[in-house]
Amino acid sequence: AQSVTQLGSHVSVSEGALVLLRCNYSSSVPPYLFWYVQYPNQGLQLLLKYTSAATLVKGINGFEAEFKKSETSFHLTKPSAHMSDAAEYFCAVSAIGNQFYFGTGTSLTVIP
Amino acid sequence: DADVTQTPRNRITKTGKRIMLECSQTKGHDRMYWYRQDPGLGLRLIYYSFDVKDINKGEISDGYSVSRQAQAKFSLSLESAIPNQTALYFCATSDRGLAGADTQYFGPGTRLTVL
């Protein structure tokens, strides 16, 4: 079985500061891991995904995430927050042939 | 035009009514999904379909049914709506590939309120 835990349902950062959104996963088999972003009144769109290639994954809009098996983590980072990054972010886990399991989401606020 | 469309976008209905949410896609994808989103609970999978003849229950299928009318269309029905089915519903699609590793593409959502 797979599951994800997102630590912090709300995160606030100042514009230009580091963004760090935390995700820990549980999986009995090698996982696939995803970060999706949801802007207000829109559906989700993929930011990045890990599918057992490079452990550091680069996504759109300057975001990246690092798969750390020893810590069962897949935290999302961005060096410098922009006002347009304000959104809800979801971590998700899957495994080969299996369905997706989403985390409960982290709402990111960017303070000018 | 959007690749994944959902109708209606908003719906208010009463307890006990039958309601259908529709999803259409122009991406040519075989796989389609229905999720519901609740505040603080994230997205939970209701049903999914890997092709026209394939329907599978997800995490929370009780009280829902689906129909895959064609490759491009996947409908979700609530046979007798109840208030705790008030939520934001999303349809998603993904392409044929390594199941589990495929990127999902989401529609804009349907906000359903059951009074």
* Two tokens, residue B22: 């529709």
**Intervals of chain B under pLDDT 50:** none
Chain B residue at shortest CA distance from A41: B108
d(CA A75, CA A45): 17
Within an 8 Å CB–CB cutoff, is residue A23 touching chain B?
no
Confidence of residue A97 (pLDDT cuts 50, 70, 90): low
Q: Give the C-alpha separation, A88 to A42, whole Å.
A: 10
Strands A32-38 and A44-50: antiparallel
Q: Would you state the pLDDT for residue B102?
A: 81
Which chain A residues contact residue B105 at CB under 8 A? 45
Q: Would you state the pLDDT for residue A66?
A: 94
Please report residues of A whose CB lies closer than 8 A to that of B58.
99
pLDDT number for residue A96? 65
- Inter-chain touch A96–B48, beta carbons under 8 Å: no
Smallest Cα distance from A4 to chain B, Å: 11
Q: Given a cut of 90, is residue A39 above it in pLDDT? A: yes
The answer, yes or no, to whether residue A94 has pLDDT greater than 90, is no
